[in-house]
Structure 1
Amino acid sequence: MKTRNNKKHELTDFSKFSNKELAEAFVFPSKAPATEKEKKEEKEFFQERRKKFANRTHQQQIYDKLLQLKFQLEDYISSNQYQDVLNFSYFLSEYVNRQDKKDKDFAAEIDIKPAVLSQYLNNYRKPPEKIVFRLELHSNGMIPAVAWYKLLQKDKEHEIMTDSSSRTEESKHIKNKLEFAY
C-alpha cells in the first residue's frame, strides 16, 4: 500500500512496517485502567450531572429543545438531500410545539391570524419574507431568518426540479429552441 506524503509529495511504502507499528502510528493508545479514586470521581460527576439535568427549569428545557431544533434545521439545510417531511411546515410546527404553545397563542405572538398560521403549518401556503424575520425576532436570534429562508428555498428547489407538468405546459410557448448535441 502506498500513499502520498503531503509535505514532500513522495510516495511512502507502508509494506516495510508491521501491522502493529502502523496501528501505533495512527491510533492513540488506550488509557490505563482507572483507579478506584478515579472511578468514584467519575461516578459522582455523572450523578451530579444527571441531577442538574433533571432539575432544569421549564425555560431551560425549552431552550434545550429549541437548540436541538436549530441544529437539526442547520444540518438539513446544509445537506444535499431533500426529504419531503422536513419542509418549512415541519420545522415551524416543531418550533411551536417545543415551546409548549398553542397555535392560537403563537399566532398572536407573531401578529398573524391563526388561520394563516394553520395554512403555514399544513403546507397550504408559503410564508412571505416578513414572517421569517418575525420568526428570527421571536426566537431572539436563536434561529436566524436566513435559516428559515434557506429552508423555503430548499422546498422551492425540489418543487422546480420535480415539476414536469409545468415544464410540459411551458414548452408550448417555446419556438426555435437551441439544438445541441450533448
Structure 2
Amino acid sequence: MRKNRISGELSADNIYPHGLSKEQKATADKEMAAFRMERWKNMTKEDHLRADLLQVKYKMEDVIESLEYHGTMHFGYFLSAYIRAVQKKQKEFAAEISIDETRLSRIIHNKEFPNDELFIRLELHSNNTIPALSWFLLAEKEKAHNISTNKELRKREKKNVHKTIAKR
C-alpha cells in the first residue's frame, strides 16, 4: 500500500492498479457483485452461520490488535453481535450457556465485567471458532482503558495510600 505523499492517505487505485476505464471498472464491479450475490444465495445455513461467526471473530481481532480503544466496540457489543450471528434470543442463548439472563444483559450493556468461565463457555459454544483468549483479550483491553482513564477511582484510592516513595 502506498501513501499519498501530499495527504498521507491511502488510495485504493495505488494498492492494486487495474488499468480499466471508469466504465470498464463499473461493469467489472457489477459482475463481481452479481457473482458474490449468487454465491451468497447458494450457501447453506451452516455456511451462513460460519461466515457470520468469522465476521464477528475478525472484527474482534481488529479491535484487539488496534492501538486505540474503541469505546463503542466493547465486550458487550461483540457478545450481542455473536448472539445475533447465531440467531438466538438472549433468553435462549443464556439457557444454552447456563448463565442468568439478567447477568447476560448486564454484561452486554457494559454494567458487569465477564469472568473466565464465560470466556470458556463462549469458546465452547462457538465450537472453538472464537477462542476464549480472544474474548478475554477484548475484555482486558476495555479494563486497561478504564484503569488508565478513571480519574474518580484514582481520587477515591488516593486516601488509602498513606505514604509514597520519594521523587528523584
- Going from structure 1 to structure 2, the CA distance change for 1:146 and 1:54 (only over 3 Å counts) comes to same
**Residue of structure 1 in register with 2:109 after alignment:** 122
Match of 1:138 in 2: 125
Which residue of the partner structure matches residue 27 of structure 2? none
Deviation at 1:155, TM superposition (A): 1.0
Residue 121 of structure 2 aligns to which amino acid in structure 1?
R
Q: 2:153 aligns with which of 166, 169, 181?
A: 166
Structure 2 regions of 5+ residues with no counterpart?
Answer: 1-13, 21-29
Q: What does residue 143 of structure 2 align with? A: 156
Q: 2:42 corresponds to which letter in structure 1? A: N
Does residue 1:57 correspond to 2:44, yes or no?
yes
Choose 1 or 2 for highest CA Rg.
1
Question: Aligned AA for 2:150?
Answer: D
Q: Which residue of 1 aligns with 2:63?
A: 76
Structure 1 stretches (4+) deviating beyond 4 angstroms?
30-33, 43-49
Greater relative contact order structure (CA < 8 Å, 6+ sep): 2
Alignment TM-score, normalising by the size of structure 1: 0.71
Measure how far apart 1:165 and its partner are.
Answer: 1.6
* Alignment partners' CA distance in 1, 2:61 and 2:83: 17
**Overall identity of the aligned pairs, in %:** 37
Q: Provide the aligned length of Structure 1 versus Structure 2.
A: 150
User: C-alpha distance in 1, partners of 2:86/2:158?
Assistant: 47
Q: Which runs of 5+ in 1 are unaligned?
A: 1-26, 34-42
Distance 2:110 2:33 in 1: 43
TM-score of the aligned structures, taking structure 2 as reference length: 0.76
Deviation for aligned residue 1:169? 1.9
